[in-house]
Amino acid sequence: MKRCSIVIHSVSGNVFIIGSYLTDCLKEKGVDARLYRVEDTDLHILANKLDSVNQYYEDILELPVCHLSTLKKSDMVILGCPTRFGNMSAEMKAFLDSTYEMSEERALEGTLFGCFTGCPHTLSEGAHALDSLVYWAQIQAMIHIPFGIHTDVAMGYDQPAAGIVHLEGKENLIRPSALLAETIETYAATVASYLS
């Protein structure tokens, strides 16, 4: 059975919700999908200040922390994180920075790759964050499996080709919808076809 490691950084819980649903969808399709998190040493501070963060705080912390060995054991890696100023979050960036030697060793060459993000403002801002994640994968010589164009899915808004963007609003209070669930299911079917 092929292994897909979904590695997230989640603050408000939206990325956690998407990652959890994607994990479940892939398991239903016979993929050994596992959900991990990256370290966030400040999450407890935000959880004490914001109800939206506190709601999923314990669920996020229950996830195992992703290590470089986890990436090496994976047939596919899917990254998910919040968008910050059109880029990935600092915590995801710090984790990916720790993989520098892996790029020189080409340790992930040929591993499949996917990505998603939660974005407060616009799809284009989220698309920029996806592009930065894809660029990391290209440096690692991974094979990007994009979301692509889907005219048959009622998404509520267009998705960028690179991956999935959830528009969560300025305060990150908009939770993923049933329409986004259909988008995730469509992506899971694509991913599973590559992993079968």
pLDDT tens per residue, range 19-49: 999 999 999 999 999 999 999 998 888 778 7
pLDDT attached to residue 155: 60
Q: How confident is the model at residue 173 (pLDDT cuts 50, 70, 90)?
A: confident
How confident is the model over 165-170, as a mean pLDDT? Answer: 91
Phi-psi region of 187 (alpha: psi -120 to 50; beta: other; left: phi over 0): alpha
| All structural domains of the chain | 3-195 (3.40.50.360)
pLDDT at position 105 over 70: yes
* Phi, psi for 95 (deg, rounded to 5): -65, -45
C-beta pairs of 88-92 under 8 Å, 24+ apart in sequence: 88/9, 88/117, 88/129, 88/132, 88/133, 89/9, 89/11, 91/9, 91/38, 91/39, 91/40, 92/9, 92/38, 92/133
The secondary structure of residue 75, as a DSSP letter, is S
pLDDT at position 191 over 80: yes
Give, in degrees to the nearest 5, the angle at Cα 72 between 129 and 31.
80
pLDDT attached to residue 185: 95
Per-residue pLDDT of 50-72, as tens digits, reads 777 788 999 999 999 999 999 99
How confident is the model over 73-93, as a mean pLDDT? Answer: 97
